[in-house]
Amino acid sequence: MSGGRELLVVGGNGVSRIALKRALCQHNFRVSVAHNAGTALCAVQSRGLTDVVADFSLPDPRSGLELIARLKAVNRDSRIVVLASYPSIATAVEAIKLGATHYLPKPVRAEEVIAAFDRREGNTGACGAAKPLSLNELVWEHISRILAENGGNISAAARALAVHRRTLQRKLARYPPRTGRRSAMEQAPVAERRRPA
């Protein structure tokens, strides 16, 4: 993917949007941002944008999946790279089936996003061919989904899981099972992590 092209970054929090925009601009991309699905769809329709980075840092990942479907309905040629704070194999497979080009767990470097746009189409086989999840990974998937549904709020997630907040914090400190990724505890808001019992 050559520099000078325009990308649309939608979703995520203000800090992550600004950081990603700056990083992509350093690679000579023109980057626009959209705070929500409505703004993103307007930008795609009015300006003919085709390359979209969709950040799934949303309380409900289904709204991000719906955005993929709506973007593809507006422009079949849209290339959509999904970023996920709480990666889930189920969500990744669904995103690819809906037309996403690639699905990347956060944190992510600008180079990874750019490389993802070079993919011509999604690959559901990559997820489907994976070995079955271990018990620890299944637990992580469930906790990640509940955290995402509660906007990353550990206290709310603990209530939804019917466990004490400190119990959930201890579990989060041990996960995710796969290394090289920030734990959900690290990704949670700083104020939430430091909140006294």
Average pLDDT, rounded, for the chain? 75
Of the chain, the end-to-end C-alpha distance in Å amounts to 49
User: Domain boundaries in the chain?
Assistant: 6-128, 135-193
**Cβ(145)–Cβ(130) under 8 Å?**
no
Compute the distance between CA of residue 26 and CA of residue 28 in angstroms, rounded to an integer: 5
Please state the rounded mean pLDDT for residues 164-177.
Answer: 78
In terms of CATH, what superfamily is 6-128?
A: Response regulator (3.40.50.2300)
pTM of the model: 0.61
Convert the pLDDT of each residue in 17-44 to its tens digit: 778 888 888 888 888 888 888 888 888 8
In terms of CATH, what superfamily is 135-193?
A: Homeodomain-like (1.10.10.60)
Compute the distance between CA of residue 66 and CA of residue 110 in angstroms, rounded to an integer: 25
**Cβ(127)–Cβ(92) under 8 Å?**
yes
Confidence band of 3 (pLDDT split at 50, 70, 90): low
